[in-house]
Structure 1
Amino acid sequence: MSIELRHLRCFLAIAEESSLTRAAARLHLTQPAVSRNLVALEKHLGVRLAERSTHHLALTAEGRAFREKAAAAVAAFDAALDTGALRRRPLRLGHAWSAFGPYTTPLLRRWEREHPETPLELLRIDDRTAGLIRGDVDAALLRGPGVVGTPGLVTELLFTEPRVAAVPADGPLAARPTLTLADLATRPILVNTVSGTTTPSLWPPEAGPVSTVTVANTDDWLAAIAAGRGVGVSSASTADMHPHPGVAFRPLPDAPHLQVFLAWREAATHPATHDLATLAWHLATGA
């Protein structure tokens, strides 16, 4: 059996809905028809794309990898037939925390003014690539060098920003105008293992933190600091984008600055992606 575009669209619907039933309703097909399309695609590729049971469906590693290729192929086909309609589809911009920092509002306002035909959706996704690898977004604002060199991704450095210390607002460290890494090392360090950039390697090997406490997102990170479970390190933008009454942010001048990148897939899934990259670069550099 030959594979057609309908098989790819069906697979993408399954991936987005995580359900054969919901995918069938979305595509106005029967569930058996959706299941047959998935089986045919798996047989053609020679791999299992999804693990499914009566109450659960999840993509396999092969399925997640193929999702990227399928999304790019469908996007390219749609763009070839109707670029105007594709441009009217929202351009999804992911971030894990702090978005574009001080340039967030200028970016959203200028985009709306200069590209009214393409809505720009800013999505916070707690993931190392803010949903980019999973195909949840078309581009992402990412911090730290961890994604540079990732196969299939294009990354552009936009700017660097200072790091700050985050400490309990009612604790002794909050009374100081600035702090050092050594000041923090005597306390447990809150580490966001899902999307954060702070690890014990930020400190010299001979002067590392006494212990770490792991969290999975920015909200839990802030709550744990406010509760006195430890202290944290983040970008300067976090103080503006994520204020918390129980957390005080203080400059951390001896910590290296944090790089902020815009990333997108080599096979861009939205035709306005490069327009977004150009605007972000102009805002960040003032060029």
Structure 2
Amino acid sequence: MSTGQGDGEAGGRGVDVRHLRAFLAIADEGSVTRAAARLRLSQPVVSRTLASLEKHLGVRLVDRSTHHLALTAEGVLFRDKAAAAVGAFDEAVDSGRLRHWPLRLGHAWSAFGPYTTPLLRTWQQRHPLTPLELRRIDDRTAGLTRGEVDAALLRGPVDAPGLVTELLFTEDRVAAVAADGPLAAGRSLSLADLAGEAVVLNTVSGTTTLDLWPPHARPAATVTVANTDDWLTAIAAGRGAGVSGASTADMHPHAGVAFRPLDDAPPLPVLLARRDGPGHPALPRLVSLAREIVGRSRP
């Protein structure tokens, strides 16, 4: 493989590391323009480099049908392979000054709950050359299926194809109600207590649906939102009540929202998910550390 910048085109020489770097920059930035700026190349050169790589592979890696570029299914699979190849190349030719290849950990809300800070601090102490980047992405798989992260902390059942999940712990569910409303007066609540209210549902990244209630006792009205911030705002405004995991109370406090234990709701599983296939080489260490930190606090 060649390491020079050149114009990034394959010509008759096949694919080299420049093509992989250009693809990875586009995948990370979601834009050819920003990828070109990051690589210090012109936009036409980066576009031709991507087209040359796709022609060589015989598949389309990037969906150009929208303003914000997105990886195709083939692009998501290829990203891990390309990143592994570039990482191995950099280590082989620059072992004294290894490039820091961040491990991107996604979450839609509440991250790792009470274990978030211990996880980040311990990782930094043990693996200073591999930054652990925590990214909040409002998506049911926190960007994992789109290739935006290497692993994700997810809550509730996950049925997206091509993912491998591991249960780390379960957390109790809580009711979220307006702090100045009548339901906030109780020390704990039940699903029946919420059935007389409209229920605020995060339909993009949340886990609560009307199926949480018995068919004969479901709330009559719902308010739908697209992220945790809007969910909290709607509840604080008295538009309805919500249900979430216990970590939400600590990770997303809001002056207008009171969280109360929900006595009769099933616990919420917290999962560590990754794509089924080659991935970031530090993933096994992340899984091991997550287990260790949870184990420290478990009887």
Relative to the length of structure 1, the TM-score reads 0.88
Check conservation: 1:194, 1:217, Cα contact below 8 A.
yes
Check conservation: 1:86, 1:270, Cα contact below 8 A.
no
State how 1:39-118 maps to structure 2 within 5 Å: 39-44=51-56, 45=58, 47=60, 49-51=62-64, 56-59=67-70, 63-81=71-89, 82=91, 88-118=100-130
Equivalent-residue separation in structure 2 for 1:275 and 1:96 (angstroms): 22
State how 1:213-224 maps to structure 2 within 5 Å: 213-224=223-234
Following superposition, the deviation at residue 20 of structure 1 comes to 2.8
Check conservation: 1:87, 1:271, Cα contact below 8 A.
no
Q: Percent identity?
A: 64
Following superposition, the deviation at residue 3 of structure 1 comes to 4.4
Following superposition, the deviation at residue 87 of structure 1 comes to 7.5
Equivalent-residue separation in structure 1 for 2:219 and 2:112 (angstroms): 29
Distance 1:262 1:113, change over 3 A: same
Check conservation: 2:174, 2:260, Cα contact below 8 A.
yes
**1:106-148 per-position Cα deviation (integer Å, ceiling 9, x unaligned):** 212222222223222222111111121222222111100124x
1:37 equivalent to 2:45? Answer: no
Following superposition, the deviation at residue 69 of structure 1 comes to 2.1
Equivalent-residue separation in structure 1 for 2:225 and 2:273 (angstroms): 25
**1:32-55 per-position Cα deviation (integer Å, ceiling 9, x unaligned):** 2222223334445254833268xx
Q: Which runs of 5+ in 1 are unaligned?
A: none
Distance 1:254 1:102, change over 3 A: same
Relative to the length of structure 2, the TM-score reads 0.85
Q: May I ask how many residue pairs the two structures share in their alignment?
A: 280
Equivalent-residue separation in structure 2 for 1:177 and 1:57 (angstroms): 46
The one of 8, 19, 23 aligned to 1:7? 19
State how 1:204-219 maps to structure 2 within 5 Å: 204-219=214-229
Residue identity opposite 1:18 in structure 2? G
Residue identity opposite 1:189 in structure 2? V
Q: Which runs of 5+ in 2 are unaligned?
A: 1-11
Equivalent-residue separation in structure 2 for 1:153 and 1:143 (angstroms): 14
SS at match of 1:225: helix
Supply the RMSD in Å over aligned alpha carbons: 2.3
Check conservation: 2:106, 2:144, Cα contact below 8 A.
yes
Check conservation: 1:158, 1:285, Cα contact below 8 A.
no
